């Protein structure tokens, strides 16, 4: 079956997480992604957090599926020649170097355009233009600067970062959408364009409900926040709201049976207004259906601690899965707190391709997250990440059409590093 991005060729100059997330997604949709790596070194994550000695780390393998790897020293004149030849053959150049690094390689926007006016140049940076434009940025910096950390955690605790990589992977997703939009526009304009996604902006985009609340503060307390019911005054900035729901339907994380031993024996419970009467029946408080202190959402807001306390006495008598089964029968929105172990063992996620077991020649089989976006006419087959420089020769010959003599000349210049890694029989 064909793929959505068949025929699109990506020159992938990305490293670490944000950029690779983007190009992996494009590869899953069928683009030919050519990952350019520094000879002998490669993407720094190949060697970071290594769990199997001598093999590419999971950090690398889980972000670089379905790509080809070519090693090129971009600072070697012959290497630059290869890069420029690739720019002419590719549709998109994606990079997430530190600010200015691409220009220092000589690959300015103007130069890339002169080589290939149809080329789209897509970049992730930590910040957009402004006072911090030159800063190097990693995930947690973006979470802090994008408003996530100041609004995550407990009101009386320090700001917290979240485990979801909203700065890196989140911005990679934003960038991928920008690239696909630019490819679509190119259909009519015939021109490439620059696509920029700043990690601060990406995080802020995902935190927009907190900017909403910041503005609501000017008109009174945030009544759905627990602190309102606790009688604690609001300051002039949105406070951390622990596990309060970020929407108009109050929700909390509640203990379930076994919580004393199991740190994940909890359930998220949402007191959605349309199912309030069912909630009252399930937890054994039918009187709350008509009691004016509980019957209407506005009346419940100052009493959320009491209400969730009562619901918790019900959930604590059930496992999180028992509670979920009962609540789902009544259409009461809820979700078990799943550990990564439980997720990794959930065969239904493998059945949909959300989780995939991938064979690998040097590290053995590993689990990775498959494409979370399912296209009916463009199914994703996850292919293991490439070894460093695995496709160098193949790309020189097949994509650039170089003959043996040309390949040997470039190899001899040192621009490609050593001969590529050999792969044991797979």
Choose one: 133-141, 282-290, 301-309, 318-326; the region binding ligand CAO (CB under 6 A).
Answer: 133-141
Question: C-beta of 159: minimal distance to ligand CAO in Å?
Answer: 20
Among 59, 60, 97, 314, binds ligand CAO (CB under 6 A): 97
User: DSSP state, 106?
Assistant: T
Give the contact letters, 13-52, x = binds to ligand CAO (CB under 6 A), - = no.
---xxxx----------------x-x--------------
Collapsing DSSP to helix, strand or coil, 402 comes out as: coil
Residue 100 CA to residue 192 CA, distance in Å, equals 20
**Residue ranges with strand state E in 98-154:** 120-125
Judged by CB under 6 A, does residue 96 bind ligand CAO?
yes
State the maximum Cα–Cα separation within the chain, in Å, rounded to a whole number: 87
Choose one: 49-57, 96-104, 111-119, 384-392; the region binding ligand CAO (CB under 6 A).
Answer: 96-104
Judged by CB under 6 A, does residue 104 bind ligand CAO?
yes
Cα 280–Cα 283–Cα 284 angle in degrees, nearest 5: 80
Judged by CB under 6 A, does residue 74 bind ligand CAO?
yes
Comparing CB distances to ligand CAO, the nearer of 44 and 326 is 44
Cross-strand bridge partners of residue 33:
10, 67
Judged by CB under 6 A, does residue 107 bind ligand CAO?
no
Residue 80 CA to residue 131 CA, distance in Å, equals 32
In the numeric block, which tokens belong to residue 334? 């809820």
Question: C-beta of 377: minimal distance to ligand CAO in Å?
Answer: 31
Among 7, 51, 75, 381, binds ligand CAO (CB under 6 A): 75
Residue 391 CA to residue 69 CA, distance in Å, equals 5
Comparing CB distances to ligand CAO, the nearer of 144 and 232 is 144
- 168 a catalytic residue: yes
Single out the residue of 293, 305, 290 nearest to residue 225, CA to CA. 305
Judged by CB under 6 A, does residue 126 bind ligand CAO?
yes
Among 168, 213, 224, 244, binds ligand CAO (CB under 6 A): 168
Question: Phi, psi at residue 203, to the nearest 5°?
Answer: -65, -45
Comparing CB distances to ligand CAO, the nearer of 73 and 390 is 73
Judged by CB under 6 A, does residue 138 bind ligand CAO?
yes
Contact 89, 399 (CB under 8 A): yes
Q: Which residues, 6+ apart, have CB-to-CB distance to 74 below 8 Å?
A: 36, 38, 80, 83, 105, 107
- What is the Rg, in whole angstroms, of the alpha carbon atoms belonging to the chain? 26
Q: Which residues are catalytic?
A: 168
Where does this chain bind ligand CAO (CB under 6 A)? 16-19, 36, 38, 72-75, 96-98, 101, 104-105, 124-126, 136-139, 168
């Amino acid at each position: 079956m064909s793929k959505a991005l068949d025929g699109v060729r990506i020159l992938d100059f990305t490293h670490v997480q944000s950029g690779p997330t983007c190009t992996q997604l494009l590869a899953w949709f069928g683009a030919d992604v050519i990952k350019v790596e520094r000879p002998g070194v490669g993407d720094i994550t190949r060697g970071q957090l290594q769990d199997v000695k001598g093999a590419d780390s999971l950090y690398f393998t889980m972000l670089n599926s379905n790509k080809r790897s070519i090693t090129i020293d971009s600072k070697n004149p012959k290497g630059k020649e290869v890069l420029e030849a690739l720019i002419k053959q590719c549709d998109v150049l994606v990079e997430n170097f530190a600010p200015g690094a691409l220009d220092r390689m000589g690959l300015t926007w103007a130069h890339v355009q002169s080589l290939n006016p149809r080329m789209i140049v897509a970049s992730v940076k930590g910040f957009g233009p402004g006072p911090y434009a030159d800063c190097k940025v990693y995930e947690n910096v973006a979470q802090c600067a994008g408003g996530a950390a100041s609004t995550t955690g407990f009101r009386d605790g320090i700001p917290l970062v979240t485990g979801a990589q909203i700065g890196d992977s989140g911005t990679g997703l934003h960038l991928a959408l920008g690239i696909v939009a630019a490819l679509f526009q190119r259909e009519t304009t015939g021109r490439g364009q620059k696509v920029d996604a700043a990690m601060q902006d990406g995080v802020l985009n995902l935190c927009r409900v907190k900017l909403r609340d910041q503005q609501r503060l000017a008109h009174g307390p945030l009544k759905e926040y627990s602190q309102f019911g606790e009688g604690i005054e609001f300051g002039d900035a949105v406070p951390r709201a622990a596990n309060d729901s970020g929407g108009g339907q109050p929700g909390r994380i509640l203990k379930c049976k076994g919580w004393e031993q199991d740190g994940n024996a909890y359930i998220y419970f949402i007191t959605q207004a349309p199912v309030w009467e069912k909630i009252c029946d399930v937890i054994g408080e039918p009187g709350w259906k008509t009691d004016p202190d509980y019957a209407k959402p506005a009346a419940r807001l100052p009493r959320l601690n009491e209400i969730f306390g009562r619901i918790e006495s019900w959930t604590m008598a059930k496992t999180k899965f028992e509670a979920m089964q009962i609540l789902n029968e009544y259409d009461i929105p809820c979700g078990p707190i799943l550990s990564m172990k439980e997720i990794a063992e959930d065969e239904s996620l493998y059945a949909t391709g959300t989780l995939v077991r991938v064979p690998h020649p040097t590290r053995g089989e590993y689990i990775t997250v498959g494409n979370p976006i399912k296209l009916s006419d463009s199914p994703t087959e996850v292919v293991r990440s490439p070894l460093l420089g695995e496709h160098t020769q193949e790309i020189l010959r097949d994509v650039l059409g170089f003959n043996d003599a040309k390949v040997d000349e470039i190899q001899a210049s040192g621009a490609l590093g050593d001969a590529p890694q050999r792969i044991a029989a797979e």
